[in-house]
Amino acid sequence: MEQRLVFVKLGGSLITDKSKPYTARPEVIARAAAELHRAKADAGLSLLVGHGGGSFPHVSAAEYRIHEGACDARGWEGFARVQADASRLNRLVVAALLDAGEPAVSLQPSAACTARHGRLQRWDGRAPERCLEQGLLPVPYGDVCFDEARGCCILSTEELFRYLAPRLKPALIVMAGKTDGVLDAEGNTIPEVKAADLERLRHSLFASDGVADVTGGMLHKVEKALETGVETLILNGLRPGELEKALLGRSVAGTRITRA
């Protein structure tokens, strides 16, 4: 019987301390990996696990303004540095998943993806599909890639999910960050966001903590979630057990995002 596929994002604000450049949270990464492993086995799931860059590539991306593209030697130096920073964090996540018992495989977007004006257009090869077919756990991540219009751009995990969702058809997307879902202007959790709510909420969805977030913060997450057309749950991954419960279909605090 075909397994239910779920996309999971481990947010950069969850797995790193965004107020301290190049500072991972190894204990949080290890706990999340263990929760993913248990839930995958208990619920018979197939998983694709992406993650943000947090205080790793966002530092060099902001310094070199890579979100604006590259047109000179300094820009391309920034491209190389952001790529290196993103891959450093990815190795920590993959190592934790392997230690937890998952056959995790890193998928490097900068080596296979091409975008135009920041929107992913092509992912060369069938690596994500082949990983899932062979029972492996693919781990793409926020990275840079070549851009036909700007020279280069940043690809967020949400943009990767936007591209992959119609091809792989996940049943659910779970995004684990450091807040109890999408918060309103008073800091209260919004239990559900639909497409019709976006304009009303737009002004309050920019917040991001610590160092610069060059991918657009919570607004970007909500917009991309709506674009996938897949039900998306945003939850607090700092709460032990919340990610595991969500994958097992149990009730958790957070925000559900749906088109209708």
Instruction: Kindly report, residue by residue over 50-67, the tens digit of the pLDDT.
Output: 999 999 999 899 999 998
- Which residues lie below 8 Å from residue 203, measured CB to CB, with a gap of 6+? none
Q: What's the confidence (pLDDT) of residue 216?
A: 54
Is the distance from CB of 209 to CB of 19 less than 8 angstroms? Answer: yes
**What was the pLDDT predicted at 185?**
79
The structural domains of the chain, with segments of one domain joined by +, span: 4-258
Tell me the fold of 4-258.
Answer: Carbamate kinase (3.40.1160)
Buried-state track 184-214, b at ≥16 Cβ within 10 A, e below 16: eeeeebbeebeeeeeeebeeebeebebbebb
**Closest residue by Cα to residue 120 from 97, 136, 140, 95:** 140
The pLDDT, as a whole number, for residue 211 is: 39
> 10 Å Cβ neighbour count for 232?
27
Kindly give, in sequence order, each residue whose CB lies less than 8 Å from that of residue 104, ignoring residues fewer than 6 positions away.
49, 93, 94, 97, 98, 136, 137, 138, 139
d(CA 48, CA 138): 5
Question: What global pTM score does this model have?
Answer: 0.93
> Identity (one letter) of the amino acid at 199?
E
User: Strand 4-10 to strand 45-51: parallel, antiparallel, or no bridges (unpaired)?
Assistant: parallel
- Assess contact for 185 and 204: CB atoms under 8 A: yes
Tokens of 166: 């119609």
Euclidean distance between CA atoms 7 and 19, whole angstroms = 27
pLDDT score of 210: 37
Residue 209 has what pLDDT? 46
Q: Which residues of the chain have pLDDT under 50?
A: 207-214
> What does 109-165 look like in DSSP terms, one character per residue?
HHHHEEEETTEEEEE-SSHHHHHHHTT-EEE-BSEEEEETTTEEEEE-HHHHHHHHH
